[in-house]
Structures are given as C-alpha cells and as structure tokens.
Amino acid sequence: MSDRVPVTGLSLAYALEGEALLAALSVRARPGERPQELLFDLGLLSSRDFALELAVLSGTPYLGLRGFLVDERLLLYLPLALALTERVCPLVLVGDSLKIASAFLEPDLTSVRARFPRLDLDIVLAPRDEIIEALRDVSYAAR
C-alpha cells in the first residue's frame, strides 16, 4: 500500500496554483534567492512555519537555532559564502558526518561533496531567519 496521498482534482488545482505562485514570485525574487524567500521578507509566510511544515511533509528532522553559536572550525568544510548563499548552517561534526541545518530541502552542496567525498552530510531543517542570524554572528566576529 502506498503512503502517497491520492491526487484529487481539488488538490491538483491547489498544487498547480502553488506552482504558478512560485513562478510569479521567482520573477520578483532577488538574484540567487528562492521564490519563497520573498514571502518571508514580505511577512506573508513565517520561515519557522515554512520549515516546520516542510519537515512534517518530508519526514526530515526540524531544529530551531535561536541562540545557536556556529563553531567557526566547521566553516573549513562549509565556507561562509556558500552557507549564506544556500541558507545552510554547519551544526556539528561527528566522525565523518557533518550535520547541517538548511532552510530548504535540497541545498546545492556539490562543492562540499566534491572536496570531501567521504564526508556524510546530514541535513535537518531550520528556519531561514535563524540560520541567517547564526551566520551573521560568525561574519561579525570575523571582522
């Protein structure tokens, strides 16, 4: 038996409407940003609510980062510029596994995987605003 929710005419209409909304937002989004980020910036969608909903729908763990301090040594694996661009934050390195908080399901971490092919990247979801705040603290400390 499949765990997938059956697609009805109404749910398909909402899905297509959602795709149309994201397509319209992508035209207005700043270069390099995902369309959902415009909704966050306009206050129409909370990045926390988005991350929680995404975690529930995908089965990916959720982690809040309020007050989290980034271990700057982890930026050797995940450079700050990439972290800011992809909305990801290194959390902890245990053995050959780097746990990373991400605001979105599939961040582009190909450069990290290419540089550290044996490193397992374990993704958890976190609110975009909390990721940016944690990374901002690191960038201010580096100055």
Write the pLDDT tens digit of every residue in 11-21.
444 444 556 65
Which domains, from first to last, does the chain contain? 9-45 (no CATH), 72-142 (3.30.300)
Write the pLDDT tens digit of every residue in 16-42.
455 665 565 555 556 666 767 777 777
The span from the CA of 120 to the CA of 94, in Å, is 10
pTM across the whole model? 0.74
pLDDT of residue 13: 44
pLDDT of residue 2: 44
pLDDT of residue 9: 42
Edge-to-edge strands, sheet with 88-94: 88-94, 97-102, 120-125
